[in-house]
Chain A
Amino acid sequence: MKTSNATWIIAKRELSAFFNSLVAYILLISFLGFTGFFTWLSGNGDVFFRKQADLKVFFMIANWTLFFFIPAVTMRLLAEEKRSGTIELLLTKNVSDRQMVLGKYLSAFLMVLIALAFTIPYYLSVSQLGNFDHGATLSGYLGLILLSSAYIGIGLFASSLTNNQIVAFLLALLLGICFQFIFGVLANGSTGWISELFNTLSLTSHFDSISRGVIDSKDVVYFLSITFLGIFLSEYIISKRK
């Protein structure tokens, strides 16, 4: 009871800090703008061009938008606390390192959920257009949520390493690129168990199968592992001040 309480109070403050600055609005508008444009208006490849009532385009674009969107959300979470010294204020209250890190994670996660909630009208309208696979779409949303969670883990870890927000942002992108691209390329360029290993680490293959509607426990475990590793490492880095 007490444990979850401090986490929730911190998450709530963080979330209201997003909305009190322009950060939340800029990010929401750009997220909805990008995904909306490519889903509905881009002409080449949008829902009307493909003449299929599904959200495949949306899931693909959302993956890439979140790739930039989430580091922008997570960059300040721990880096700014460290820069301004407020971390000392927080951790000398009745709050443990873990509660603080979890609170930060939760705030970014809620931010992403809010962004995704705004795309529910896409879902509702496309589902009216023709033969619509609700299962595959819900699975796609689950994929986006899991993917976001993993990105937040990565971003949080990047933010714990520095007290400079820009460095945290770039570091999160760099780590993200590894998972998005580099591991995939390395998997193709090698053979045997090494190829196998990089293929498992590559985020793309896991996300693709989920966004097609195939929920495999392996993929779920993959995303959750990155999330937990990110949170765990952040907590470890923060506790090293001692």
Chain B
Amino acid sequence: MNIRIENLTKSYGDQKAVDSISFEVKTGEVLGFLGPNGAGKSTTMKMITHYLNIDAGNITIDGRSVRNTDMKKHIGYLPEHNPLYEDMPVIDYLRFVAELQGVDAVKLDDRVKDMVRLCGLNDEKHKKINELSKGYRQRVGLAQAMIHDPEILILDEPTTGLDPNQIVEIRELIRTLGNSKTVILSTHILPEVEATCDRILIINKGKIVADGTAETLRKTASGSQVLRVKIQAPSQDEVKESVSQLAGVALVEKVEGSENRLEIQSHVDQNVNEAIFRLCVDKNWVLTEMVPFETKLEDIFRDLTMN
């Protein structure tokens, strides 16, 4: 199911938590929702799941507004902080949620079993939730979100508290689910977005500041290419000077703490790899290293959200 968000706005008092944002998510897409704390990620998710009312704008799922409360049944939601009924055994809790979501009584047991298996809860299923470690609690949270096989999954920080192995498992699970469902997930962990999401949305102070794949974000953030090269030559100063005189090179800097290494920034949309190689051949220098240097997502994120 496709989710379309149009000019969505929500204020708390005078402060606009979400300020006229618009975007679309399609079936088979995993959208990563990024932003600093208090940017409006959770508020947006709470409006999609109808926990909060929409002040202005609209959210539609396959053309129907989520203001119709019956749209809730298409959504599986994992809230931030993953609240759970602490005093219930895992299996009773999952049965309770399944009943509440209107899972057919005939299929209910199978569905609960499926979720227990899928989320790796088999050894813990009879334990009370307050006896579980944080990682297992998170799995219970995911299991309850998916129990009625919803077409849409809204996951607010799904991997917090998991150990690295569990994170990999959950990411794989989300990727698999993402093939057939519409997934929106929020996170603070930037590599996670690259690992799981088809598209990234960065939001700051209630407004969208970037929307695209990790690749397109990189390109728009810095159109220029950065190369790291290591050249063996009699005089490093001469190397530096010759390189900076090449056409297309914007900036050359020595890399601190490492001999013979230079960082070379090119002008926008110019490729200097070949020129550097030819220069070395002409001068009879030995080129031992040439690595294109990717702009880190962290840097893009900082650029867009700090001002």
Contacts and interface: CB of A to CB of B under 8 A. Distances in A.
Interface of A: 2, 5-6, 9-10, 13, 17, 20-21, 84-86, 88-96, 241-242
A88 B97 contact: no
Contact of B50 (A85, A89, A92): A92
A98 to B, nearest CB: 11
B235 interface: no
A2 B83 contact: no
A120 to B, nearest CB: 30
Contact of B79 (A2, A9, A20, A88): A88
Contacts of A89: 77, 79, 83-84, 144
Nearest to B86: A84
Given A21-B87, A84-B86, A93 B81 contact: no
A94 B101 contact: yes
Interface stretch (B20-28, B67-75, B170-178, B259-267): B67-75
Nearest to B77: A92
**What is the interface residue range for chain B against chain A?**
20 to 34
B102 A92 contact: no
Given A17-B87, A20-B87, A94-B72, A88 B51 contact: yes
23 contacts: A9-B99, A13-B85, A13-B88, A17-B88, A20-B87, A84-B86, A85-B81, A85-B83, A86-B85, A88-B46, A88-B83, A89-B83, A89-B144, A90-B100, A91-B50, A92-B50, A92-B51, A92-B72, A93-B97, A93-B101, A94-B102, A96-B69, A242-B53
Contacts of A20: 87-88
B83 A9 contact: no
Q: For the complex, would chain B's binding face be called helix, strand, loop or mixed by DSSP majority?
A: loop
Nearest to B85: A86
A105 B40 CA distance: 34
B55 to A, nearest CB: 10
A18 to B, nearest CB: 10
Interface string B89-111: 00000001101111000000000
B85 A17 contact: yes
A241 B87 CA distance: 25
Q: For the complex, would chain A's binding face be called helix, strand, loop or mixed by DSSP majority?
A: helix
A13 B97 CA distance: 10
Contacts of A17: 85, 87-88
Contact of B52 (A5, A96, A242): A242
Interface string B32-51: 00000000000000100111
Interface in B192-206: none
Nearest to A85: B83
Contacts of B84: 86, 89
Contacts of B72: 92-94
Given A9-B99, A92-B72, A86 B83 contact: yes
A160 B86 CA distance: 20
Given A5-B102, A92-B51, A94-B70, 10 more contacts: A9-B99, A9-B100, A10-B100, A20-B87, A21-B87, A92-B49, A92-B79, A94-B73, A241-B52, A242-B52
Nearest to B128: A20
List 8 A-B pairs, minimum CB-CB distance, nearest first. A85-B83, A242-B53, A92-B49, A86-B83, A94-B73, A92-B77, A93-B100, A88-B79
Nearest to A93: B100
B58 to A, nearest CB: 16
A20 B79 CA distance: 26
Contacts of A91: 50-51
Contacts of B51: 88, 91-92, 241-242
